[in-house]
Amino acid sequence: MAVASVSHGGFAAPVHEEADQLYLETRELRVQGFLLFMVSDLVLFSSFIFAYLYLRSSGQGWPPPGGPKLDLALAALNSGVLFGSGATMHFALENWKHRNFMKFAGWMVTTIVLGILFLSGQIVEYVKIGVGWGTSGIFGAGFFTLTGMHGFHVFAGVIYLTVLLLQATAGKYTFAKYTGLTLGTLYWHFVDVIWVVLFSIFYLL
Amino acid sequence: MDATLAHIERVLAFVVGIIVFFVAAIALKNDWDSKGIENQVFKGMLALLALGAILAILASVNALAGKGVEL
């Protein structure tokens, strides 16, 4: 209150500078903390991926006889949808940086819809191949564990982006301070990148 | 019917893959000089996104297909 009353007398500028400095310091910490979270998530995925590759290479031929056949055309389209959502998320952040809220909101909604479309495509794939953990041996266990874990991340990402959009609409972020949106974009790109690996090992190798 | 559906899926995957590849490549070019740790991570991820788009394109034309997949 005292600061507000004397703000025209020369105190306002130092207070703002202090706040900006605090924002910059905590911003770095938040970014680093989020990157650490992503590294830990990467370790989690890597563990399962290497376990799957080990089991795959130690078996008598691959895929195991009598196993399901994955649909490459559907997977390629679904991958395109997820990678496309990475592009739309990039547009969303760029439009925020260029102070265009309407375009930002439009691209965010597009990203969320594409995320939901990807999840729908995964469900179609699951139903189509009709296997589960208990019935499909090593292949099914690896496939469902990894794609399911990734699907859960996409699901969490859809909720995360929806919350970010609502927060942005409510004015939580300014065009100068938007670390949360940057971190949301990083998370969504991370989910994309994990799918590049999963798509390769399940459908292309 | 299944063959037609698969054909449509492939065409869509091909088109989306090309769009995503160019978006990722242009974004990477524009962000190339940006500083900061998160921007370095962004650049790596955009490069991998472009790689993913190439893989989707190759899969859509059956140039890459693993064992046990339905073509």
Domains with residue ranges and CATH for chain A: 2-204 (1.20.120.80)
Residue in chain A lying closest to B28 (CA): A90
What are the chain A neighbours of B10 within 8 Å (beta carbons)? 73, 76-77
CA distance linking residue A147 with residue A151, whole number of Å: 6
Q: Note the Cα A128 to chain centre separation in Å.
A: 25
DSSP state for residue A161 in the 8-state scheme: H
Residue B66 placed within a domain: no
Assigned token pair, A135: 């019935």
What are the chain A neighbours of B48 within 8 Å (beta carbons)? 192-193, 196
Residue B69 placed within a domain: no
CA distance linking residue A163 with residue A166, whole number of Å: 5
Q: What is the pLDDT of residue A127?
A: 87
Residue B42 placed within a domain: yes
Q: What is the pLDDT of residue B42?
A: 87
Residue pLDDT, tens place only, A40-59:
999 999 999 999 999 888 87
Per-residue exposure over B4-31, b if at least 16 CB sit within 10 Å of its own CB, e if not: eebeebbebbbebbbebbebbeebbeee
Residue B71 placed within a domain: no
Residue in chain A lying closest to B30 (CA): A94
Domain that holds residue B16: 2-60
Return the bridge partners of B70, or none.
A71
- Domain count within chain B: 1
What are the chain A neighbours of B68 within 8 Å (beta carbons)? 62-63, 67, 69-70, 139
Q: What is the pLDDT of residue A155?
A: 97
Q: What is the pLDDT of residue A129?
A: 81
Taking a C-beta distance cutoff of 8 angstroms, is the pair A132, A192 a contact?
no
Residue pLDDT, tens place only, A100-135:
999 999 999 999 999 999 999 999 988 888 766 556
Determine contact: A137 vs chain B, CB below 8 A. Answer: no
CA distance linking residue A99 with residue B64, whole number of Å: 42
CA of B39: how far to CAs of A31, A133, A187, B3, B27, in Å? 11, 39, 13, 43, 11
Q: What is the pLDDT of residue A3?
A: 42
CA distance linking residue B11 with residue B23, whole number of Å: 19
Residue B67 placed within a domain: no
- The pLDDT of residue A4 is above 60: no
Give the distance from residue B28's alpha carbon to the nearest chain A alpha carbon, in angstroms.
Answer: 11
Residue pLDDT, tens place only, B11-28:
999 999 999 999 999 988
Give the distance from residue A1's alpha carbon to the nearest chain B alpha carbon, in angstroms.
Answer: 36
- The pLDDT of residue A182 is above 80: yes
Judged by CB atoms closer than 8 Å, whether chains meet at A73 and B9 is answered as: yes
- Of A38, A85, A75, nearest to A200 (Cα)? A75
ipTM of predicted complex? 0.85
Q: What is the pLDDT of residue B70?
A: 66
Higher-confidence position of A3 and A124: A124
